Chain A
Amino acid sequence: MRRFRAIYIIWLRDLKRHFRDRARIFGSLGSPIIFIFILGQGLSASIAAGGLTGGLDYKQFMFPGILGMTVLFAGVFASVSIVWDREFGFLKEMLVAPVPTWTIALGKVISGATIAAFQGTLMLLLAPFAGVHLTPLLILELLPMMFLVAFSMTGMGILVATRLKSMQGFQMVMNFFMMPMFFISGAMFPLKNAPRWLDGISRVDPLTYGVDAMRAIMLPNFPNRYPLPLDILVVGLLSAAMITISVTAFSRQA
């Protein structure tokens, strides 16, 4: 009960902080808008001519990928905020409390996933502009999927945070970790004709399965890479593993 309460209050605090920061909530829609309206619009004609997207408009094809990106960025960023907490001292207030350290990490993972799923849901407002038709049922199917993907991302974020001494190092994480994960996942282009090495790496990228699943849900007519149940299984297992590893690692170093 006490542990549950600790997780709850850590979750609540992060959500309060997030929802007070309007600039962050709407600012994070900036890059998806650029991707869809500029990149998507621009590439739309030439890619359709090549027939790579299986008869879909490129904007439709990329939309689930951009959703994956939003969840990835929001999730990692939310959980890496534990580094801010360390820098500004608040982490100490949590560490010295009579609750086990793993509750802190787990609270952060859950709040990060909630924030990421929320940001993803907000992104869905852009669906009509990408030519993706959403029904309430579809959204209900997407929501758990976004949560599942978000969990693996926040798990990774906590793991990164145990290695990161200050937020200045976050730029590195962004360039050498998050960006490659995003591009390799097949979010922006189909991996069907990709060179072998790229295809190989994409198989160990958790976002590959996340994006594949969200594409399967949103675009039923698109020939998917893996069957949906396999996507869900892989993302689920990865999330569980990521959370276990990161929470253990965090407890050990803190």
Chain B
Amino acid sequence: MSGAADLGAAIEVERLSRHFNGLKAVDEISFSVGHKEIFGFLGPNGAGKTTTISMLCTLLKPTSGRASLSGFDIVSQQDEVRQSIGIVFQDPTLDDQLTARENLQFHSMLYNVPKGEREQRTASVLDMVGLGPRSADKVETFSGGMKRRLEIARGLMHYPHVLFLDEPTLGLDPQTRSSIWEHVHELRQQYDITVFLTTHYMDEAENCDRIAIIDHGRIVALDTPGNLKHSVGGDIITLKAEDVQAAQKEIQEKFSIEAGITDVSEADGSAGKRIRLEVPSGRTMLPHLLKGLSVEIQSVSVREPTLDDVFLNLTGRQIREESADKMEFMRTRIRRRRMR
């Protein structure tokens, strides 16, 4: 494992593809991740995030293209790659009949951790994730967040160069989520590690140094969260109007601003059509806008762009797919019913 780690990038991917029965799950993606970087893969479910991770972890053979981790090729140097990475999968992969400590011991035997260091490393990783006092308890007594933390600890046992986290906060409550993020930042400090993670939570992606936005198997943007947000260009104004079409038309005619109509579902449960426009400065624009419009405006909001807006700009869709999917599903059902 020695010298290779010091040369080049931690992860290097070149035109990597994976097809499933003609479907391009991952389509010629290329990127590289530097040392000690926290790199995020952001995209809706089914965009190709997990497929990419599976290939980088050597669990899945690429259809074409190549990739290397710490200088080791993912196809021809599988064992070396596996030794230099830690993985936390989307679904738990712990033995819940064993204790936390036993799960870690099992791991260190498979990953060649020197016998003399096993005890000390077990104690230190458990401490880091705050599970020290529970080390002798069976995993079946752990909560979802504790299991995830234990898996992160396990992934660190063999001092990997790269830690993969596939949706590390999926299904966890907000408090546990933020504590997982604290751990991720902390372990970069402590273990000198590169973190590669996938998520479909926009707000969480902002914790990354750089983000690749992936959609339909392709990388559509790759930059720091800040730069990505700047690319939207200023602020976002959202308007609710009685007649959205008329309002949209009027804005375009009077102010020559590109205005879009989007479906939104608000936190309070209301849903409907909104007019959405990007302006250099929301605060100065808004008074002009309201004065100039003859259509009745019911509500207004101004905010700085989020990664959600970046995704919307790039793909024309919103990423909040859970609620969107449900609505899409209902819409198709209604459509079908009408067609009968």
Within 8 A of A (CB), among B61-114: 78-80, 82-83, 87, 89, 91-98, 102, 105-107, 109-112
Are A96 and B82 neighbours in the complex by a CB distance under 8 Å? yes
Are B109 and A8 neighbours in the complex by a CB distance under 8 Å? yes
Among B79, B93, B111, which residue has its beta carbon within 8 angstroms of that of A90? B93
Tell me, in angstroms, the Cα distance from A20 to B138 when the chains sit together.
11
Are A98 and B110 neighbours in the complex by a CB distance under 8 Å? yes
Among residues of A, the one whose C-beta sits closest to the C-beta of B158 is A98
Give the distance to chain A from B85, nearest Cβ to Cβ, in Å: 9
Name the B residues within 8 Å of A88 (CB-CB).
92, 95-96
Are B82 and A93 neighbours in the complex by a CB distance under 8 Å? no
Tell me, in angstroms, the Cα distance from A16 to B82 when the chains sit together.
26
A89 on the B face (CB < 8 A): yes
Are B111 and A98 neighbours in the complex by a CB distance under 8 Å? yes
Name the A residues within 8 Å of B59 (CB-CB).
92, 95-96
Residue-wise, chain A 1-34 has the 8 Å CB interface mask toward B (1 for contact) of 0100110110001001100110000000000000
Among residues of B, the one whose C-beta sits closest to the C-beta of A94 is B110
Tell me, in angstroms, the Cα distance from A95 to B83 when the chains sit together.
12
Residue-wise, chain B 26-70 has the 8 Å CB interface mask toward A (1 for contact) of 000000000000000000000000000000011100000000000
Tell me, in angstroms, the Cα distance from A95 to B59 when the chains sit together.
8
A140 on the B face (CB < 8 A): no
How many chain B residues touch A (CB < 8 A): the figure is 26
Name the A residues within 8 Å of B109 (CB-CB).
5-6, 8-9
Residue-wise, chain B 237-263 has the 8 Å CB interface mask toward A (1 for contact) of 000000000000000000000000000
Given contacts A95-B59, A96-B87, A98-B83, contact A90 B112 (CB under 8 A): no
Tell me, in angstroms, the Cα distance from A151 to B107 when the chains sit together.
26
Give the distance to chain B from A86, nearest Cβ to Cβ, in Å: 11
Name the B residues within 8 Å of A96 (CB-CB).
57-59, 82, 87
Name the A residues within 8 Å of B98 (CB-CB).
13, 16-17
Tell me, in angstroms, the Cα distance from A240 to B17 when the chains sit together.
41
How many chain A residues touch B (CB < 8 A): the figure is 22
A125 on the B face (CB < 8 A): no
Name the B residues within 8 Å of A17 (CB-CB).
95, 97-98
Name the A residues within 8 Å of B89 (CB-CB).
89, 92
Are B111 and A97 neighbours in the complex by a CB distance under 8 Å? yes
Are B92 and A89 neighbours in the complex by a CB distance under 8 Å? yes
Are B93 and A89 neighbours in the complex by a CB distance under 8 Å? yes
Name the B residues within 8 Å of A94 (CB-CB).
110
Among residues of A, the one whose C-beta sits closest to the C-beta of B57 is A96
Question: Max chain B CB contacts within 10 Å: which of A5, A20, A97?
Answer: A97
Are B102 and A9 neighbours in the complex by a CB distance under 8 Å? no
Give the distance to chain B from A3, nearest Cβ to Cβ, in Å: 10
Among A21, A92, A99, which residue has its beta carbon within 8 angstroms of that of B110? A99
Are A93 and B93 neighbours in the complex by a CB distance under 8 Å? yes
Tell me, in angstroms, the Cα distance from A91 to B109 when the chains sit together.
15
Are A98 and B102 neighbours in the complex by a CB distance under 8 Å? no
Tell me, in angstroms, the Cα distance from A3 to B92 when the chains sit together.
25
Among residues of A, the one whose C-beta sits closest to the C-beta of B79 is A98
Give the distance to chain A from B324, nearest Cβ to Cβ, in Å: 28
Question: Max chain A CB contacts within 10 Å: which of B57, B87, B93?
Answer: B93
Are B106 and A98 neighbours in the complex by a CB distance under 8 Å? no
Among residues of B, the one whose C-beta sits closest to the C-beta of A92 is B93
Tell me, in angstroms, the Cα distance from A8 to B58 when the chains sit together.
24
Among residues of B, the one whose C-beta sits closest to the C-beta of A20 is B97
Give the distance to chain B from A107, nearest Cβ to Cβ, in Å: 10
Are B106 and A2 neighbours in the complex by a CB distance under 8 Å? no
Give the distance to chain B from A166, nearest Cβ to Cβ, in Å: 15
Among B58, B91, B111, which residue has its beta carbon within 8 angstroms of that of A89? B91
Give the distance to chain A from B139, nearest Cβ to Cβ, in Å: 10
Name the A residues within 8 Å of B78 (CB-CB).
98
Among residues of B, the one whose C-beta sits closest to the C-beta of A91 is B93
Give the distance to chain A from B132, nearest Cβ to Cβ, in Å: 22
Name the B residues within 8 Å of A98 (CB-CB).
78-80, 82-83, 110-112
Are B91 and A93 neighbours in the complex by a CB distance under 8 Å? no
Name the A residues within 8 Å of B107 (CB-CB).
93, 97
Name the A residues within 8 Å of B91 (CB-CB).
89
Tell me, in angstroms, the Cα distance from A8 to B115 when the chains sit together.
14
Given contacts A16-B102, A96-B59, contact A9 B97 (CB under 8 A): no
Pairs A–B under 8 Å by Cβ, sample size 6: A13-B106, A89-B93, A89-B94, A96-B82, A98-B78, A98-B83
List A residues at the B interface (Cβ < 8 Å).
2, 5-6, 8-9, 13, 16-17, 20-21, 88-99
Nearest 6 A/B pairs, CB to CB = A98-B82, A9-B109, A97-B110, A89-B93, A93-B93, A98-B83
**Seed contacts A9-B105, A96-B58, A98-B83; 4 additional CB < 8 Å A-B pairs:** A9-B110, A17-B95, A93-B107, A97-B107
